Structure 1
Amino acid sequence: MPRSRFHGSFDSPKVDVVIDMGNPFLNRTVDGFLKIGTIGASRVAAEETYHSLRKGSISKHSVEHALKKMCKEGAYWGTVAGVYVGMEYGVERIRGTSDWKNALIGGVVTGALISAASNNGRDKVVVDAITGGAIATAADFLNYLT
């Protein structure tokens, strides 16, 4: 019986913007902020476009609201990413090794810091620290598998 196969790959375009802050810690932190902040802003842009199209109208007010929300979400996502990347790099430098434990510690510290900065109670800070560590470790393991 004849069979055919299709082999191919898809590579997304890679855009790298390098901002040299003169320090590897700052370079990585700013890079994480910019990349993930852009993703957060893009997510809001897609959501707001969908909602405007679903309503069938676009007003000046809705555009201003979307832009404000894009800036807020982009700054929030970027801040979380910048703190995480900086923490992971700092832990790597302190420990002198590159392994999954850096992701775990960086995620725990980031989750706790962001939660504490949001004026959450002690229990919520602990839960967010555990969640941050779990997500960062899982992402590191998934990255290792691919």
Structure 2
Amino acid sequence: MPHSRFSGSVSTPKVDVAIDMGNPFLNLTVDGFLKIGTVAAARVATEEAYHMIKKGNISSHNFEHTLKKMCKEGAYWGTVAGLYVGMEYGAERVRGTSDWKNAMIGGAVTGALISAVTNNGRDKIVTDAIAGGAIATAAEFINYLT
């Protein structure tokens, strides 16, 4: 009986852009901003293209609206990511060790700062700090598993 086997591996392409700001903290922060900001902008572009095609209404007004939304979402999520990466790196430098606790600290500080900037009350800032720390810690643990 003939026997066949398929063997191979699939990997995701990696695109890396090196930006040297002269400081590792700034390098990581800008890198996080650009990567996540690009992902957020691409998500908006994809969603908006889907909605335009579904409605069958592609106009310059819709295109302009999409570009504005891409910039807004990209800047927002890029800022959150840059802030998180910077806070995690800062925690690592202050603590002198690289472990999951840096992700927790970075997430908590980022959640609290983003919440405070949006003029939330004290209780909301605390819950956002807890959520940020929990999400970052969970992501770090999942990253260890893979």
CA RMSD of aligned residues (A): 1.5
Other-structure match for 1:99: 99
Matches within 5 A, 1:1-146: 6-146=6-146
**What secondary structure does 1:22 align onto?**
coil
TM-score normalised to the size of structure 1? 0.95
TM-score normalised to the size of structure 2? 0.95
The structure-2 alpha-carbon separation of the partners of 1:98 and 1:55, relative to structure 1 and needing over 3 Å to count, comes to: same
For 2:20 and 2:10, how far apart are their aligned partners in 1? 31
1:29 partner amino acid = T
2:102 partner amino acid = N
The structure-2 alpha-carbon separation of the partners of 1:4 and 1:119, relative to structure 1 and needing over 3 Å to count, comes to: farther
Aligned-pair CA distance for 1:10: 1.4
Structure 2: runs of 5 or more not aligned = none
Deviations 1:100-145, CA, capped at 9 Å, x for gaps: 0000000000000001001111111111111100110001001111
For 1:124 and 1:81, how far apart are their aligned partners in 2? 20
Aligned-pair CA distance for 1:6: 4.3
Q: Which runs of 4+ in 1 moved over 2 A?
A: 2-9
Aligned-residue sequence identity (percent) comes to 78
Aligned-pair CA distance for 1:8: 3.1
Structure 1: runs of 5 or more not aligned = none
Query: How many pairs align?
Result: 146
Aligned-pair CA distance for 1:89: 0.2
The structure-2 alpha-carbon separation of the partners of 1:6 and 1:24, relative to structure 1 and needing over 3 Å to count, comes to: same
